[in-house]
């Protein structure tokens, strides 16, 4: 019989549909492989085409050239100039002007590489860049929340193949974030513990869903994974905001993230995926109950009417089996 599991961090229920469970290897990407050239003259993110992108906001230099560039999104969802204006109309129509930041982080000059295949030093620089842009966005007093994320592949919502991440910083706090803070706060009030620290500790003792455990980070497939290979990467040190990551942790995270993304790349044949850094603002770093983390969501299944209509999920795979499968995948 299937089993319903509650995701205690997100408070979402998932039906682990054991009766129609697929084997981990059934989820391998069966789309045609991506074969990208090392350089593409028409790609706005390739070196030499810097003038095809909007304003450069940041770069990691490499002599005259660059290793990483951050530019404004060409079609930004939010505008970096303007006032934050809030309107209410009897409580039914609440609007806030679309001020904020929408940045593109070009991860490498190489057109044919992807995040998991970058070398560790490049990944360190990428994480440092994330940190710098995250802090810069939060220093603007119109900003209430910032999200750093990556869309890899068309099924994950990107149209540009050259490896890039994005940051969107908004003038409001999303309700999803508020709800999770609330849940973590309740847990702290009831137990005196941080829910993510406890989940991470218990799961490390159990071991069955752990993918990788290094000095400062642990990656696991959650007990109530909402979709096949849905993955959480937790820092071990309790900290509410990604902005507090230190140099030693950056070095560990670079190698850790590279290993995890490589396991996906080789084990599941380069699947489409998203990853997201879920974090409180720098000024909320001192709080007791939040804990920043990275969610990695391979896009192997399609949300349908049931998921949209209920906010519940059906996962036709076993988190424990999927973790076992990925643990066994060799990376370079």
**Which residues are the active-site residues?**
164
CB of 146 closer than 8 Å to CB of 137:
yes
DSSP state of 34: P
- The distance of closest approach from Cβ of residue 155 to its own copies in the complex, given in angstroms and rounded to an integer, is 7
CA angle 306, 311, 317 (to 5 degrees): 70
Q: Which of 53, 72, 97, 244 binds its own copies (CB under 8 A)?
A: 97
Q: Which stretch binds its own copies (CB under 8 A): 40-48, 170-178, 244-252, 259-267?
A: 170-178
- The distance of closest approach from Cβ of residue 25 to its own copies in the complex, given in angstroms and rounded to an integer, is 19
Residues 6+ apart with CB under 8 A from 154: 272
Residues 6+ apart with CB under 8 A from 40: 46, 111, 162
Q: Which stretch binds its own copies (CB under 8 A): 32-40, 43-51, 111-119, 155-163?
A: 155-163
Q: Which of 41, 42, 141, 175 binds its own copies (CB under 8 A)?
A: 175
- The distance of closest approach from Cβ of residue 260 to its own copies in the complex, given in angstroms and rounded to an integer, is 16
- 55 forms part of the interface with its own copies (CB under 8 A): no
Nearer to its own copies, 168 or 212 (CB): 168
- The distance of closest approach from Cβ of residue 63 to its own copies in the complex, given in angstroms and rounded to an integer, is 32
Q: CA–CA separation, 6 vs 288, rounded Å?
A: 23
- The distance of closest approach from Cβ of residue 36 to its own copies in the complex, given in angstroms and rounded to an integer, is 20
Q: Provide the 10 A C-beta neighbour count for residue 205.
A: 8
CB of 220 closer than 8 Å to CB of 238:
no
Q: Which region, left, alpha or beta, applies to residue 269 given φ > 0 means left and ψ of -120 to 50 means alpha? A: left
- The distance of closest approach from Cβ of residue 149 to its own copies in the complex, given in angstroms and rounded to an integer, is 3
Instruction: Enumerate residues 64-93 that contact its own copies by CB under 8 A.
Output: 75-79, 82, 90-93
- 298 forms part of the interface with its own copies (CB under 8 A): no
- The distance of closest approach from Cβ of residue 114 to its own copies in the complex, given in angstroms and rounded to an integer, is 15
Question: SS3 of 47, please?
Answer: coil
- 181 forms part of the interface with its own copies (CB under 8 A): no
The interface mask with its own copies, positions 299-328, x = CB under 8 A, is: ---xxxxxxxxxxx-x--------------
- 189 forms part of the interface with its own copies (CB under 8 A): no
- 99 forms part of the interface with its own copies (CB under 8 A): yes
CB of 257 closer than 8 Å to CB of 247:
no
Rounded to the nearest angstrom, the gap between the alpha carbon of residue 215 and the centroid of all alpha carbons in its chain is 21
Q: CA–CA separation, 332 vs 325, rounded Å?
A: 17
- 151 forms part of the interface with its own copies (CB under 8 A): yes
CB of 152 closer than 8 Å to CB of 115:
yes
Q: CA–CA separation, 315 vs 257, rounded Å?
A: 24
Nearer to its own copies, 64 or 88 (CB): 88
For the chain, how far is it from start to end, CA to CA, in angstroms? Answer: 39
Q: Which of 228, 295, 298, 319 binds its own copies (CB under 8 A)?
A: 295
- 3 forms part of the interface with its own copies (CB under 8 A): yes
- 192 forms part of the interface with its own copies (CB under 8 A): no
Instruction: Enumerate residues 231-260 that contact its own copies by CB under 8 A.
Output: none
Nearer to its own copies, 45 or 273 (CB): 273
Q: CA–CA separation, 209 vs 145, rounded Å?
A: 31
CB of 231 closer than 8 Å to CB of 223:
no
Nearer to its own copies, 32 or 332 (CB): 32
């Amino acid at each position: 019989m299937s089993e319903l599991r509650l995701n205690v961090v997100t408070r979402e229920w998932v039906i682990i549909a054991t009766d129609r469970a697929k084997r981990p290897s059934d989820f391998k990407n069966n789309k045609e492989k991506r074969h990208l050239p090392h350089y593409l003259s028409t790609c706005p993110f390739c070196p030499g085409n810097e003038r095809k992108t909007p304003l450069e906001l940041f770069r990691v230099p490499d002599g005259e050239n660059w290793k990483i560039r951050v530019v404004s999104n060409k079609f930004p969802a939010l505008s970096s100039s303007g006032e934050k204006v809030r309107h209410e109309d009897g409580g039914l129509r609440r609007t806030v002007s679309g001020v904020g930041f929408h940045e593109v982080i070009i991860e490498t000059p190489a057109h044919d590489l992807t995040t998991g295949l970058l070398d560790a030093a490049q990944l360190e620089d990428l994480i440092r860049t994330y940190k710098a842009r995250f802090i810069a966005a939060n220093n603007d007093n119109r900003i209430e929340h910032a999200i750093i994320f990556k869309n890899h592949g068309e099924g994950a919502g990107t149209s540009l193949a050259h490896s890039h991440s994005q940051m969107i910083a908004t003038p409001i706090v999303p309700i999803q974030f508020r709800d999770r803070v609330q849940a973590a706060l309740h847990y702290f009030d009831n137990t005196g513990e941080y829910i993510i620290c406890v989940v991470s500790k218990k799961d490390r003792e159990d071991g069955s869903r752990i993918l990788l455990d290094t000095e400062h980070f642990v990656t696991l497939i959650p007990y109530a994974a909402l979709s096949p290979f849905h993955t959480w990467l937790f820092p071990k040190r309790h900290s509410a905001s990604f902005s507090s990551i230190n140099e030693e942790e950056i070095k560990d995270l670079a190698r850790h993230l590279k290993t995890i993304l490589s396991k996906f790349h080789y084990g599941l044949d380069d699947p489409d995926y998203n990853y997201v850094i879920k974090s409180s603002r720098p000024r909320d770093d001192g709080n007791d109950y939040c804990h920043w983390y990275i969610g990695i969501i391979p896009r192997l299944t399609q949300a349908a009417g049931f998921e949209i209509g209920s906010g519940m999920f059906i996962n036709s795979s076993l988190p424990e089996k999927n973790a076992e499968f990925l643990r066994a995948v060799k990376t370079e």
